[in-house]
Amino acid sequence: MIELAEMIRDLRRELTDAMEHGAGERLRFELGPVEIAATVTVTREAGAGAKVRFWVVEGDAQGRRAHEHTQQISLTLQPRLAGTNAPPFISGEQAHGER
């Protein structure tokens, strides 16, 4: 299992790599909403500064996690470039006069 936050960090890294590798390409893709569906289990730590953590259950681990309570969640992320309200392009550079 991995933490939900770690999964989102890895997704951000993958999308950043796609942007970098697509620079200069003729075919461009504007990144729209990113939809994620995951099976998670929730743990709660006791004591001062207690946290609730969401753990993403891997597909092959689901049978082993049958004794834990799992939930299906769906997230829709709206990626934007830092400091702007513009969606990123995961391939190619912005052309003059484009949006």
Q: What is the pLDDT of residues 19-77, one digit of tens each?
A: 888 888 888 888 899 999 999 888 877 777 778 788 888 765 555 544 567 888 999 99
Residue 97 lies in a domain: no
Structure-token pair, residue 23: 């620079």
Note whether residue 10 is domain-resident: yes
Tell me whether residue 35 is in a domain: yes
In a domain, 99, yes or no: no
Q: Which of 14-18, 51-55, 64-68, 84-88 has the highest mean pLDDT?
A: 14-18
Q: 52 lies in a domain?
A: yes
For residue 72, CA distances in Å to 38, 48, 56 come to 6, 29, 10
Kindly state whether residue 7 falls inside one of the protein's structural domains.
yes
- Report the helix count and the strand count for the chain, using DSSP H and E: 1, 6
Q: Domain range holding 81?
A: 2-91
- Residue 80 in this model has a pLDDT that exceeds 70: yes
Give the helix/strand (H/E) hosting 12. helix 4-22
Residue 45 lies in a domain: yes
Question: What are the tokens at 69?
Answer: 């309570």
- 49 in any annotated domain: yes
pTM for the full predicted model: 0.69
pLDDT at 99 over 80: no
User: What is the structure's pLDDT at 25?
Assistant: 83
Domain tally, the chain: 1
